[in-house]
Amino acid sequence: MTTGVHGPTRARIEAKTLRTDRWWVSPLTTFVVFFAFVVYATIRAFQGSHYYSKPYLSPFYSPCLGDCVKGSSDFGQPFHWWPLSAALLVLIFPLGFRLTCYYYRKAYFRGFWLSPPACAVAEPHKAYTGETRLPLILNNIHRYFWYAAVVIALVLTYDAILAFGPAEGESSGIHMGLGTVVFLVNVVLIWLYTLSCHSCRHIVGGKLRHFSKHPVRYRMWTWVSKQNERHALYAWLSLFSVALADLYVLLLASGTFSDPRFF
């Protein structure tokens, strides 16, 4: 038996949607961009090379905890026995953070799973149970990925500071190249994305019943709430910036390009 908008009690209308605007642009864009990112990130993550060019460490590999190239491991190599690319050790955390993110969920449920493709456009699936079962019920542990994301953001901040450090062939002094700017922009966007997270909003104050009794947390919540309105924007921008930072390191490490230096 047909259900949904073609169910027996609904108004008989053939079309699955009567929307006349280009509703498919948004899910299609999401699909194309995310798909491209996933392909690029997968290749780069498994590549296991061209991820470090002093003083720049690709954010995909940071912190570099496996058997990493000289100078790239700022936090030791506890997993030096790991046979595969060191990126795979850490990428799981930002990946999990984004997969369980309340914004990305909207984006991939619409763009990839078409559930629904757009508002008031019928979805193609026969059954739907949402996030009540495995594996999607795991989206509820988003906050743990947020904790991890804060750690990663701290590490990337450290990397951004190191990006001011001595360049290839130098042992001391301060430097600033185009790469430093790329890293700075990236880490700011990563922080904005991380702090505008819905779980963060809940943890800093959203869970409270009485803001009036917790004025400091109320102010933090107010700030996070304001950033939270742009969470989707930060999600996109930080996605681009992290890929760009990695690409920049790839270009430097492979010798395709040399870092323009400001001082």
Partner 1 sequence: MAYTLKMRLWRGDRSGGDLQDFDVEVEAGEVVLDAIHRVQATQAGDLAVRWNCKAGKCGSCSAEVNGRPRLMCMTRLSDYDPSETITVTPMRTFPVIRDLVTDVSYNYEKAKELPYAELPPRDADGKRRMMQEDVDRGQEFRKCIECFLCQNTCHVVRDHDGNKKNFAGPRFFLRYAELDMHPLDTVDRRRVTREQAGLGYCNITKCCTEVCPEGIHITDNAIIPMKERVADRTYDPLVWLGNKIGIRDKDRDSRAEL
Interaction residues for partner 1, span 103-122 (CB under 8 A): 105-106, 109-110, 115-116, 119-120, 122
d(CA 144, CA 124): 33
Count Cβ atoms below 10 Å from residue 161 Cβ, excluding itself: 14
Q: Is 257 exposed, middle or buried (0-12, 13-18, 19+ CB in 10 A)?
A: middle
Interaction residues for partner 1, span 132-191 (CB under 8 A): 132, 136-137, 140-143
Residue carrying the six token digits 């490490």: 253
Q: Which is nearer to partner 1, 122 or 251 (CB)?
A: 122
Q: Which is nearer to partner 1, 56 or 145 (CB)?
A: 145
Q: Is 212 in the site for partner 1 (CB under 8 A)?
A: yes
Q: Which is nearer to partner 1, 3 or 254 (CB)?
A: 3
Q: Is 29 in the site for partner 1 (CB under 8 A)?
A: no
d(CA 166, CA 157): 17
Q: Is 11 in the site for partner 1 (CB under 8 A)?
A: yes
User: What is the number of alpha carbons within 13 Å of residue 20 lying toward its C-beta?
Assistant: 0
Beta strands in the chain (DSSP E): 52-53, 56-57
Piece of 46-54, 185-193, 199-207, 250-258 that binds partner 1 (CB under 8 A): 199-207
Contact 83, 48 (CB under 8 A): no
Looking at residue 205, the DSSP 8-state letter turns out to be I
Strand partners, 56: 53
Tell me which of 81, 209, 256, 260 binds partner 1, using CB under 8 A: 209
d(CA 242, CA 223): 24
Interaction residues for partner 1, span 30-89 (CB under 8 A): none
Return the SS3 of 101. Answer: coil
Q: Is 206 in the site for partner 1 (CB under 8 A)?
A: yes
What's the min distance (Å) between Cβ of 120 and partner 1?
5
Q: Which is nearer to partner 1, 60 or 103 (CB)?
A: 103
Tell me which of 28, 32, 38, 125 binds partner 1, using CB under 8 A: 125
Instruction: Please report, as ranges, the residues that interact with partner 1 according to CB under 8 A.
Output: 3-5, 7-13, 15, 17-21, 102, 105-106, 109-110, 115-116, 119-120, 122-123, 125, 127-132, 136-137, 140-143, 198-199, 201-202, 206-212, 218, 228-229
